[in-house]
Amino acid sequence: MAALNPYITFNGNCEEAFNFYRSAFGGDFAMISRFGDVPSEVQYTLEEARKIMHVSLPIGNGTFLFGSDRPASVGNGSMGDNIAISIDTESEKEADRIFNGLSAGGKVTMPLAKTFWGAYFGMLTDSFGVHWMVNFDYKQEK
């Protein structure tokens, strides 16, 4: 069964926010990567390369709080468009089913595809304006 995790995007202060969340929830980051760590065609400024591309903080019972900074090319976000629900699935088939169901009548912002970080991943905004990320990590396969 799929697991749901909140995903918050920030206008450059993701690291500060997640250090705050870590102090509140406890624990350590399960992952933290920066834009400068990512193989990309995009050339980031030194300042932007230091910003967070993805961070995950376990907050109990298999739930994670995810976050990232918004690249300058995307523009600043505001309350309401800075939160997405991330779904971790158990298979590509489940990812396809959920993604196709949620995107009906909505807008696909990143089609499901294999990624450089070892996942099958896509993003969409449903017909109600809710942002979703659908993910299957290949390392789960047995």
Q: What is the 3-state secondary structure (H, E, C) of 9-74?
A: EECCCHHHHHHHHHHHHCCCCCEEEEHHHCCCCCCCCHHHHCCEEEEEEEEECCEEEEEEECCCCC
Per-residue pLDDT at 40: 73
pLDDT band at 136 (very low <50, low <70, confident <90, very high): very high
Inter-CA distances, 29 with 1, 12, 50, 59, 61, Å: 24, 18, 17, 10, 15
Mean pLDDT of 103-115: 95
Which pLDDT tens digit goes with each residue over 33-90? 999 988 877 788 888 999 999 999 998 788 899 999 988 777 777 766 778 889 899 9
In CATH, 3-140 is 3.10.180.10: yes
What is the three-class DSSP state of 109? Answer: strand
Is the pTM higher than 0.75?
no
Per-residue pLDDT at 25: 82
Do 85 and 69 touch, CB atoms closer than 8 A? no
Average pLDDT, the chain: 88
pLDDT band at 29 (very low <50, low <70, confident <90, very high): very high
> Using CA atoms, how far apart are residues 19 and 126, in angstroms rounded to an integer?
31
> Using CA atoms, how far apart are residues 32 and 142, in angstroms rounded to an integer?
25
The amino acid occupying position 15 is: E
> Using CA atoms, how far apart are residues 102 and 133, in angstroms rounded to an integer?
10
Taking each continuous run of H as one helix and of E as one strand, the counts in the chain are 3, 8
